[in-house]
Amino acid sequence: MHKHLTFNLKIAALALLIGSSWQASATTPTLTIDQLRQQREKIKQRPRRIWFNHDGCDAIFFSTNSIKGRAQAIPEDLLNVRTTQLADKQVDTLAYCTICSGFGNFTHRTKIGHMFTVLRIEFANESTAGIRNITGDLIAQGTDPLQVMVDFCKAKDIEIFWSMRMNDTHDYSWTPEKGYPLFPKLKEQHPEWLLGSYSNKPPYGAWSGVNYALPEVRDYCYRFFEEVCQNYNVDGVEMDFCRHLQYFPSVSNGGQASDKDREMMTELLRRIRTMTEREGLKRGRPFLIAARAPDSAEYSRNLGLDIKQWMKEGLIDCFIGSDYFQLNQYGYQVDLAHKYGVKCYPGLSDTRVGGFGKGGDQQRASDASYKARAMNVFAQGGDGVYIFNEYNASRNYLYSIGSPTSLLGQDKMFFVTWVNGKPSTYLTGGNSYQRSDILTPADSIPLTTGQRVERGLYVGENLRAAIAARLTPALDLELQIACLGTADNAQVDWNGKPLKGGELKDNQLHFKLTADQVTQGLNRVGLTIMRQPMAPETSLDSSGCWTVEYSCAYQLAGYNQPPWRRLFNNGNWEEKIVDGTLLFADRGTNATDTINLVYPWTPRADGPCTVEVRVKVLQSTDPMAVVVRLANGEHVEFLTLAPDRIGLAKAGLSAAYNTTNAFHTYRIETKGKDLKVYADEQMILDGSGRFAASATDPANATPMTDGLEDWNHCSLMIGSNSGPGQGTALWGGIRFRGTGKCSWEDLLLKVSYPKALPK
């Protein structure tokens, strides 16, 4: 018999068996509500070493290369994408998401939402050759992606949750001209349900989020959960609030959630809990409820998510804290959850701190890095670990991160910060809730001579236990410091004691530690530089070496592509690629409406620096509506590009110039307090001695996302610095170079063992 046919018959038989056992439960003596809750409490205690969020895009972005010669994909094909490989790992729980972006699109069979069976999903800037949606294939065979996952998990004794992204806004890329393949039918039919619109974007979050202050939205959400619990034999449901963190207009418009907002969301959870108990009684087995939300009760509460109240009322069984930012050490969410009898599985999202530098994503995404994060979770009392956005189910770390015992003797990399998304993307003042230290190559710390800077490094590794097990670790402390010069230029202390004998290799300052120096828990690391590197006397004009070059022929990924950041505070803006250039349009007229693209550059104030931009102004109603802002830690200046003039706002200089008739290359050269501006190689503005405005004076700041004040001091910005003014320009390229100032870019502790233990 053909293997695929055999597989289909096995799945069909298994589905029949499961269906029969579920049906039979209806004829058995009915559980009382107390018995159901006791059973739920018992199931809640089940070990969940690794809780794996599957994401669900396996069906809609399926590669047809694996089914050559067959017209349709079968369940086995879907499982082979990234599910079959989980069976021999430490994965005890699978969260399967069937939402295809937005609110109402699903790849499971639904009569409430929209069954997403669009065969090919074309994107303007992405190749989708050989990719298609196989949801329709599976439905034609009497199943669907969620049912396939349920059948697989039941056969493998893996717990399965249906995961719903409560307000996914990947569809914010919709435009009136092109639409967007994943924009849901419900949003098309009810634009009044959204938190904004394409032409009226809120300052926080994305415009395409649905408004949970509306009873219609909350009712649809409830019915989505009800339908799954009635039709699928899942063990529980997961409410993924982190996708994405916007629920109420009060928050997206720059305020905080009200008590009324919070009560509306809490009441929705009460309805869902009541429904799961009703449906659990019908099937004779309870449903568990999990919530994924930020790891701060205060931050979540001001978003409208009263996670502490949910725990107090027993509305959730499991809590998963953190996403692309982490506000507290893992122990915070563990203690909060355990206080109310809720199980806690801290989230380990894939890191997105930026791909440049030795300490960027490459090391943070390594197996050793995931093992360190997991060890930190268990050292702080976590019940297990939660993995998000991992698309390779064959990863080695999935064999060992489920317990501290299996992690013993495994190589690890401990960082100060693994995820560095900005909480203020969704909540005004959001970065002020940050309680754990931040240090990444994209969040470097400019260093001042003689001034000590400290960061905390949490090390969950029990080195004494390792030594007792006859495992001798090698401990390499690595500090990434830009422009340090020599090893003796830095004084480093570890838990208050100076470290000696540092070795410098490619901006990495290394120290060898011993096990007795490292505390299991938080270790404090201090850094002081003795002097700034000498600035070269020669000009960089002809060096041909640029620190950063951005062609502007493509949009930076997502909200950010670290270290670049979009700092938008605008209700009406546009960003898109036009004929290989980047169009930035500030169309807002409110006092705070700006649109900025910023890079955290740390040039030396006394060294030569060069900035070049190629730009064509299309429209501007204010000189500050199309600008280049340069701040070097001491001084700041705005190059203003009006339709008929260019100027230096702080120096008070300007000259007539047509910025709209063509693309022009503008070059800014600085050294000390001298500044000159060239347009197409001709010097237009001589600001010698006039580059003097203070970069640290709030009056010279640009409206920026809170918590990034240092970026006001040391950064390069393009865009609009005018609230009421409007400006549109095409940017063809940005590049800059200059003598660097010392900055602390990263810190990690590598724990290496003589040999790896067996898997």
The pLDDT, as a whole number, for residue 543 is 43
The better pLDDT of the pair 23, 424 is held by: 424
- Segment 218-243 shows an average pLDDT of 98
- Segment 80-109 shows an average pLDDT of 94
612 pLDDT more than 60: yes
CATH classification of 3-321 is 3.30.1490, yes or no?
no
The pLDDT, as a whole number, for residue 539 is 40
Distance CA 159, CA 416 (A): 33
What residue spans in the chain does CATH classification 2.60.120.200 cover?
548-741
pLDDT in tens, 165-222: 999 999 988 989 889 889 999 999 999 999 999 999 998 999 999 999 999 999 999 9
As given in the structure block, the two tokens for residue 609 are 């620096």
Residue 453, H or E segment: strand 453-459
344 pLDDT more than 50: yes
The pLDDT, as a whole number, for residue 712 is 80
Q: How many CB atoms lie within 10 A of CB 503?
A: 10
The pLDDT, as a whole number, for residue 10 is 40
pTM score of the predicted model: 0.89
- Per CATH, the architecture of 430-536+744-752 is what? Sandwich (2.60)
The pLDDT, as a whole number, for residue 402 is 98
pLDDT in tens, 169-185: 999 889 898 898 899 99
Distance CA 159, CA 108 (A): 18
The pLDDT, as a whole number, for residue 4 is 40
For residue 334, give the 3-state DSSP assignment.
helix
- Do the Cβ atoms of 112 and 223 come closer than 8 Å? yes
Q: How many CB atoms lie within 10 A of CB 554?
A: 12
Task: Label residue 13 by pLDDT band (50, 70, 90).
Answer: very low
Residue with tokens 């004998």: 501
- Segment 346-353 shows an average pLDDT of 91
- Helices 33-44 + 259-283 axis angle, to 10: 100
265 pLDDT more than 50: yes
292 pLDDT more than 80: yes
What residue spans in the chain does CATH classification 3.20.20 cover?
3-321
The pLDDT, as a whole number, for residue 1 is 37
The pLDDT, as a whole number, for residue 27 is 47
How does the average pLDDT of the chain come out, rounded? Answer: 90
The pLDDT, as a whole number, for residue 700 is 84
pLDDT in tens, 723-759: 899 999 999 999 998 878 899 999 999 999 987 544 4
Distance CA 295, CA 323 (A): 8
- Do the Cβ atoms of 622 and 724 come closer than 8 Å? yes
Q: What are the CA-CA distances from residue 758 to residues 371, 401, 404, 498, 651 (Å)?
A: 15, 13, 15, 37, 66
The better pLDDT of the pair 13, 497 is held by: 497
Task: Label residue 709 by pLDDT band (50, 70, 90).
Answer: low
The pLDDT, as a whole number, for residue 145 is 98
CATH classification of 548-741 is 1.20.140.10, yes or no?
no
Report the share of the chain in percent with pLDDT over 70: 91
- Segment 35-63 shows an average pLDDT of 95
- Do the Cβ atoms of 588 and 617 come closer than 8 Å? no
The pLDDT, as a whole number, for residue 357 is 44
Contacts for 359-364: CB closer than 8 Å, 24+ residues apart: 359/415, 359/440, 359/441, 359/478, 359/480, 359/745, 359/746, 359/748, 360/440, 360/441, 360/442, 363/413, 363/748, 364/413, 364/415, 364/418
Distance CA 39, CA 287 (A): 10
pLDDT in tens, 558-594: 555 677 888 777 678 888 899 999 999 999 888 878 8
